[in-house]
């Protein structure tokens, strides 16, 4: 994909990039000029701590507590860490929790970069069964658990990975009902199974925050090991590459921080200081309000262009998301959008890129889906990219 991007005129609906037009250069400039005051302490140019700046950890927690039902969340700051994007926590968690051949449960579909990482670590990835409506199929999940126990493999299940809000790639969110039931199911197990709740897109809702509370605040999850990951990359300054994590398990967080210490002994202190400045000045939420309108507008442009192309009449379907950066399209069963497919080659010829859906599905079992991102391209090019994609999709439908 990186090579294809260099082809002149190529339009990418593939990468999960944000829009340069709304990257907060003015807020960053303002923060930097305050931080670069020559009479100031200059501490932000010094090494920071492995766990991250105290003030930024406080602000990250404060941000989480702005969501309804999370105001009373009580978590010690020793279990809040700042990381190099949320990606780092995902990797470090997999590293400290798993050995080769272990089993990880993910949603169907899930974040393809994580799936690739798990495959690279020689882990077995199983999908959490879903019903037609998108809700977790608990009966099928319990059957799967039982089968693993009968096969003597239950002890190899090392964590469950959930994307709670406006997921990549499906833009689906997990209902509170599903979260509660999953909590009860996991409580009933003899061994606590760690769960990662990835909330990378939680702040990127369009009109309303998704109403479900995080696992951190649900009573059914009290005492269960949870790592909640968030990021400042998608909703703010992508290139600063700063994320954060909250864990209900002091041990899990300690183990993650131990390996982080070996890797980098702390996320860039200056990048953290910029974010801390913006958050403390209460400029962050104003910025979010602005970009929510922007991304909603872009989602609508892409959605409308695809609707007008007639794709739906030819067996393609997708849901209109309430947040995030993606449309997840399902084509007719016979359409194969996977990487070496003719569909894919035709899109390259038309100069448009997408993410083949099979990359997002454990085992790549379905090949008729695609992820389209409305994040990076300006509106005028989104329409053009949609037209190119639809021309191919109609040909293959």
Ligand X SMILES: Cc1ncc(COP(=O)(O)O)c(C=O)c1O
CB of 140 to ligand X, least distance (A): 24
For residue 127, count CB atoms less than 10 angstroms from its CB and return exposed for 0-12, middle for 13-18, buried for 19 or more: middle
For residues 128 and 161, is the Cβ–Cβ distance under 8 A? no
Q: Which is nearer to ligand X, 84 or 309 (CB)?
A: 84
CB of 128 to ligand X, least distance (A): 15
Identify the DSSP state of 135: S
The three-point CA angle 127-131-136 to 5° equals 60
Chain-centroid distance, C-alpha 286: 22
Q: Which is nearer to ligand X, 120 or 332 (CB)?
A: 120
Q: Which is nearer to ligand X, 200 or 299 (CB)?
A: 200
CB of 87 to ligand X, least distance (A): 3
Whole-angstrom Cα distance, residue 300 to residue 102?
A: 41
352 Cβ neighbours under 8 A, 6+ residues apart? 10, 11, 12, 13, 385, 388, 389, 392
Q: Which is nearer to ligand X, 158 or 241 (CB)?
A: 241
Q: Which is nearer to ligand X, 18 or 337 (CB)?
A: 18
CB of 200 to ligand X, least distance (A): 4
Nearest residue to 267 via CA among 288, 234, 245: 245
Question: Beta-carbon neighbour count of residue 397 at 10 Å?
Answer: 17
CB of 133 to ligand X, least distance (A): 22
Q: Measuring CA to CA, how many Å separate 235 from each of 64, 84, 178?
A: 14, 15, 26
CB of 229 to ligand X, least distance (A): 7
Whole-angstrom Cα distance, residue 343 to residue 140?
A: 33
2 Cβ neighbours under 8 A, 6+ residues apart? none
Q: Which is nearer to ligand X, 111 or 221 (CB)?
A: 111
Residues that bind ligand X (CB under 6 A): 16, 85-87, 111, 163, 168, 198, 200, 231, 233, 243
* Phi, psi at 136, each rounded to 5°: -65, 135
Whole-angstrom Cα distance, residue 129 to residue 365?
A: 13
- Radius of gyration of the chain, Cα coordinates, nearest whole angstrom: 21
Beta bridge partner(s), residue 299: none
Whole-angstrom Cα distance, residue 193 to residue 180?
A: 15
Q: Which is nearer to ligand X, 52 or 243 (CB)?
A: 243
Pairing of β 369-373 and β 355-356: antiparallel
CB of 245 to ligand X, least distance (A): 10
Whole-angstrom Cα distance, residue 167 to residue 197?
A: 11
Q: Which is nearer to ligand X, 246 or 396 (CB)?
A: 246
CB of 233 to ligand X, least distance (A): 3
CB of 8 to ligand X, least distance (A): 26
Q: Which is nearer to ligand X, 48 or 85 (CB)?
A: 85
- Give the residue at shortest CB distance from ligand X: 85
Q: Measuring CA to CA, how many Å separate 176 from each of 59, 129, 181?
A: 25, 17, 9
% helix / strand / coil in the chain, to the nearest 5? Answer: 45, 15, 40
CB of 396 to ligand X, least distance (A): 27
Q: Which is nearer to ligand X, 79 or 87 (CB)?
A: 87
């Amino acid at each position: 994909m990186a090579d294809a991007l260099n082809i002149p005129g190529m339009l990418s609906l593939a990468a999960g990039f944000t829009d340069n037009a709304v990257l907060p250069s003015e807020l960053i400039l303002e923060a930097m000029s305050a931080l670069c005051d020559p009479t100031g302490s200059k501490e932000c140019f010094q090494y920071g701590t492995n766990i991250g700046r105290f003030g930024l950890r406080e602000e990250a927690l404060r941000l989480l507590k702005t969501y309804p039902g999370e105001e009373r969340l009580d978590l010690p700051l020793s279990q809040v860490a700042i990381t190099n994007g949320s990606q780092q926590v995902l990797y470090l968690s997999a590293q400290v929790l798993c050995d080769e051949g272990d089993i990880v449960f993910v949603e169907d579909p899930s974040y393809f970069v994580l799936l690739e990482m798990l495959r690279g670590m020689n882990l077995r990835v199983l999908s959490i069964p879903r019903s037609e409506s998108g809700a977790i199929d608990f009966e099928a999940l319990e059957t799967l658990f039982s089968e693993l126990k009968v096969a003597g493999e239950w002890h190899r299940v090392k964590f469950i990975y959930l994307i709670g809000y406006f997921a990549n790639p499906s833009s689906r969110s997990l209902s509170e009902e599903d979260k509660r039931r999953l909590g009860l199911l996991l409580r009933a197990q003899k061994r606590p199974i760690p769960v990662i709740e990835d909330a990378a897109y939680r702040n990127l809702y369009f009109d309303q925050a998704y109403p479900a509370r995080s696992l951190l605040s649900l009573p059914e999850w009290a005492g269960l090991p949870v790592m909640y990951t968030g990021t400042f990359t998608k909703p703010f300054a992508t290139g600063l590459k700063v994320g954060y994590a909250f864990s209900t398990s002091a041990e899990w967080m300690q183990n993650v921080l131990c390996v982080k210490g070996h890797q980098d002994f702390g996320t860039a202190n200056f990048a953290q200081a910029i974010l801390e400045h913006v958050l403390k000045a209460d400029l962050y939420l104003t910025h979010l309000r602005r970009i929510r309108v922007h991304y909603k507008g872009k989602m609508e442009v892409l959605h409308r262009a695809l609707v007008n192309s007639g794709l739906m009449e030819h067996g393609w379907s997708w849901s209109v998301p309430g947040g995030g950066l993606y449309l997840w399209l399902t084509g007719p069963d016979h359409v194969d959008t996977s990487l070496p497919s003719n569909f894919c080659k035709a899109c390259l010829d038309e100069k448009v890129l997408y993410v083949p859906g099979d990359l997002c599905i454990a085992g790549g079992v379905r090949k008729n889906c695609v992820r389209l991102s409305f994040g990076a391209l300006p509106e005028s090019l989104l329409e053009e990219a949609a037209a190119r994609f639809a021309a191919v999709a109609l040909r293959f439908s």
